[in-house]
Amino acid sequence: MRRALRFIAALLLGVLVLALAFALVQLHRHPPLEPYAGLTLPEAGAAPGAVRVRFGGVATLLFDDGETAWMTDGFFSRPGFWTTLAMPIGPDAARIDDALRRMGVTRLAAVVPVHSHYDHAMDSPVVAKRTGAKLIGSASTLHIGGGLGLSPEQMQEVSPGQTVRLGRFTLRFIAGRHSPTPYSDGHSVENIEADLVPPRRVSAWREGQVWSLHVSHDGGGSWLVQGSAGFVPGALAGLHADTVFLGTGTLGRKDEAYRSAYWKETVQAVGAKQVVPIHWDDFWRPLDEPLLAMPYLFDDFGAAMLDLQARAVASGVRVRMPPLFVPFAPTAPSAP
């Protein structure tokens, strides 16, 4: 009996060791990005009144028409995986300043987190301070701002369905959902209830309200920023967007039914002719290193791209990749 128990214990230990070894290997393996190099959008020169966008990793996008500039998220600190897992974290001022310099940002009208998890909103108040921007978002987002010393005058709470004007831009805030993950079930909403003063454990940055952000410009053009690969059925009905900045985080681990519904409720719902994937990069790597896709342990960007490209061909939509920090035109030509 004892011999049998020892054998079972040794077997279980072996399985555990193998599982841990597999997880560590997958943590350091990334889907290749080389197959998509030809899809990278070209740099766009400045033109009077024309909107250009810059990608800053994860769901950070800088919109600029030459008169007004504003940004989603502004997440640049990107603490490493083991640091995030084991230690209190907070904004890294040097990394934030370097990223703003590389994006050519000195002044912003607003910083708009698409929800309040740390990989979206942790740095947003610091970016607002650096640029004179207003922090716009949910009550949870404003608690992040309050914890970093923003005054009430520099913050604006919005509610589902509300629109905000920023120069010639109109932003419509639509209640969305987070992608279902072990960290977020995609349905429940956990709010930040008091001002959040970093450094704190990563779990302190609770999700808050998730936004699907519809953007339009008086000079023409409309866009959807879908910062997380979740959706609310029917939420985007009646809206049009030329391009969808489509969050793909964890999409590579979803089944066919989920991917089909996600495409239908985002890209097809707004009649887009172009999809630009966002939130696919490994946000535990600093931005002074080349972008890599999220490790296989957490996602499969290659599987997500194969699925998106197949749906795009069937729908007459083109898929393009955003260059890091380089300005590009956010609207596709008339032909896909």
The mean pLDDT value of the chain amounts to 92
Task: Answer yes or no: is pLDDT of 221 > 60.
Answer: yes
Measured CA to CA, the distance from residue 210 to residue 291 in angstroms comes to: 25
Task: Answer yes or no: is pLDDT of 62 > 80.
Answer: yes
182 vs 123, which has greater pLDDT? 123
Low-confidence winner among 27-31, 51-55, 113-117 (lowest mean pLDDT)? 27-31
Task: Answer yes or no: is pLDDT of 18 > 60.
Answer: no
- pLDDT for 105: 97
- pLDDT for 189: 82
* Contact assessment for residue 248 and residue 228, using Cβ atoms and an 8 Å cutoff: no
Q: Are strands 61-64 and 52-55 parallel, antiparallel or unpaired?
A: antiparallel
Give per-residue pLDDT as tens, 302-314: 999 999 999 999 9
CATH topology of domain 31-319: Metallo-beta-lactamase; Chain A (3.60.15)
What pTM was computed for the model? 0.92
- pLDDT for 10: 59
Task: Answer yes or no: is pLDDT of 222 > 90.
Answer: yes
Q: Is 232 exposed, middle or buried (0-12, 13-18, 19+ CB in 10 A)?
A: middle
Structure tokens at 117: 């998890």
Partners of residue 62 on adjacent β-strands = 54, 71
Residue reference for tokens 């990107």: 78
Segment 214-238 mean pLDDT: 97
Number of Cβ within a 10 Å radius of residue 40: 15
Give per-residue pLDDT as tens, 31-43: 999 999 999 999 9
What residue spans define the domains of the chain?
Answer: 31-319
> What percent of the chain lies above the pLDDT cut of 90?
85
- pLDDT for 188: 76
Low-confidence winner among 138-142, 270-274, 295-299 (lowest mean pLDDT)? 295-299
* Contact assessment for residue 47 and residue 328, using Cβ atoms and an 8 Å cutoff: no
pLDDT-derived band at 332 (thresholds 50, 70, 90) equals confident
Segment 225-239 mean pLDDT: 97
Low-confidence winner among 68-72, 87-91, 120-124, 182-186 (lowest mean pLDDT)? 182-186
SS3 of the chain: CHHHHHHHHHHHHHHHHHHHHHHHHHHCCCCCCHHHHHHECCCCCCCCCCCEEEECCCCCEEEECCCCEEEECCCCCCCCHHHHHHCCECCCHHHHHHHHHHCCCCCCCEEECCCCCHHHHCCHHHHHHHHCCEEEECHHHHHHHHHCCCCHHHEEECCCCCEEEECCEEEEEEECCCCCCCCCCCCCCCCCCCCCCCCECHHHCCCCCCEEEEEEECCCCEEEEECCCCCCCCCCCCCCCCEEEEECCCHHHCCHHHHHHHHHHHHHCCCCCEEEEECCECCCCCCCCCCCECCCCCCCHHHHHHHHHHHHHHHCCEECECCECCCECCCCCCCC
Sign of the CA dihedral running 142, 113, 191, 125: negative
Measured CA to CA, the distance from residue 268 to residue 320 in angstroms comes to: 17
- pLDDT for 181: 74
* Contact assessment for residue 31 and residue 308, using Cβ atoms and an 8 Å cutoff: no
Peptide linkage before 199 cis (omega within 30 of 0): yes
Task: Answer yes or no: is pLDDT of 108 > 80.
Answer: yes
Partners of residue 226 on adjacent β-strands = 212, 246
Give per-residue pLDDT as tens, 152-192: 999 999 999 999 999 999 999 999 999 987 666 667 789 99
